[in-house]
Amino acid sequence: MKLQKLSYSLLVLLVLVSSAAIAHAQPPVTVYKLRNSHGVETQITNYGGIVISLKVPDRNGKFDDVVLGFKTAQDYMRKNDPYLGAIIGRYGNRIAKGRFTLNGVEYKLAVNNGENHLHGGIKGFDKVVWTGRQIRTKDGPAVVLTYLSKDGEEGYPGNLRVRVVYTLTNKNELKIDYSATTDKDTVLNLTHHSYFNLAGEGNGDILNHELKINADRFVPTDAGSIPTGELRKVSGTPFDFLTSTAIGARINQDEEQLKLGNGYDHTFVINGTAGRLRLAATARETSSGRVMEVWTTEPGMQLYTGNFLDGSLTGKSGKPYPRRSGFCLETQHYPDSPNQPSFPTTTLKKGATYKSTTIYRFITQ
């Protein structure tokens, strides 16, 4: 009888311990390989939702990998990875001094960029393991990533359930659909941080890429890349990309904002109605004939020209990534919106659903 009781308690203990272990277990790190009907391929990992590779054709049908990155998912776990290809959250870009007030409560976030909060903090969405699943959709193969960011993670309020769907469509698009819900009012600004080089990763700098940005205004910042609050007209400045211009044409001009950003590291106010999918930018690389269009529902887009890359990282094909060897077009709300009442709001209310879509579309000319 005693022995029976003992073994029963042992069994109960075992069940409790193993279910606790399962509850805390992270999903295994996996790499998903997607291929569309035109042979375009991408590899995406559930670690950080990182796009590891994206192979698209040039005008002669030759495929090259147009995103900077490393060979394996594990390679990204090194500390100095500058968000290559990752999903950024909870807040893409900066929040001044890592502080904001919501419903009368001041929240203190991790400070990881000078005195400011950048890209979700010390362990942002780029460094967590998401739950992943590969599916087929009518538009092409897709990966569904979900993550529960617990109340208080990196200082943010609310249990936030996030879902990101990457679809490699049969129209040669990498489509990203974001959605999220929270059980407490919070702030949210998700984005994607691929560094593109349309001549192929590792093939020199991106200064000859021609860029057109559908934005009459941009967001000037201070020395810490925090918005001054002004939305400045681009006309007459090196931020005028309304007509297609080489990224490098004006990047070294003696201009206050370029100096503060070490080059381009600024949000553009995308023309048209936020919430509707519209063309934000077109990038062209003439030697390959590759053209990338960026479509988004977001109000803004950060152009970051890889100013902090310094050649110390070696990419997946063994080539180093020097300064300005990739550029990012990060669709998002404006930086520091929780502290800028005149900017479009980044508050996500309890019970509401966050939705955002961005498409990177590849064509040739």
Residues of this chain that bind ligand GLA (CB under 6 A): 82-83, 93, 118, 225, 265, 302, 304, 308, 328, 330
Tell me which of 153, 154, 201, 330 is the catalytic residue: 330
Give the nearest distance from C-beta 356 to ligand GLA in angstroms.
17
Give min distance, CB of 337 to ligand GLA, in A: 14
119 or 158, CB closer to ligand GLA? 119
In 3-state terms, what secondary structure has residue 167?
A: strand
CB of 93 to ligand GLA, least distance (A): 6
How near is the Cβ of 145 to ligand GLA at its closest, in Å? 20
What's the number of CA atoms in the CB half-sphere (13 Å) around residue 50? 30
The three-state secondary structure class of 81 is coil
Q: From CA 309, how far away is CA 103, in angstroms rounded?
A: 39
Q: Which two tokens stand for residue 81?
A: 């990875």
Nearer to ligand GLA, 65 or 336 (CB): 336
Q: Dihedral angle at the C-alpha atoms of 173, 32, 137, 359, nearest 10 degrees? A: -20
Q: Identify the CA nearest to 72 among candidates 91, 49, 52, 98.
A: 52
Q: Which of 193, 209, 266, 333 is catalytic?
A: 193
The smaller minimum CB distance to ligand GLA, of residues 224 and 344, is found at: 224
Instruction: For residue 339, give the nearest of 88, 83, 91 by alpha carbon.
Output: 91
115 a catalytic residue: no
Q: Is 193 a catalytic residue?
A: yes
Residues with Cβ within 8 Å of residue 211, at least 6 apart in sequence: 241, 244, 245, 246, 247, 281, 282, 283, 284, 303, 327
Measure Cα distances from 291 to 70, 124, 213 in Å. 23, 31, 13
- Whose Cβ is closer to ligand GLA: residue 48's or residue 141's? 48
CB nearer ligand GLA, residue 47 or residue 321: 321
3-class DSSP state for residue 41? strand
Query: Which lies closer to ligand GLA via its Cβ, residue 285 or residue 330?
Result: 330
- Minimum CB–partner distance for residue 219 and ligand GLA (Å): 11
Query: What is the smallest separation between the CB atom of 191 and ligand GLA, expressed in angstroms?
Result: 9
Q: DSSP readout, 213-250? A: E--SEEE-B-TTS-B-S--EE-TTSTT--SS-EEGGGS
Where in the sequence numbering do the catalytic residues fall? 193, 330
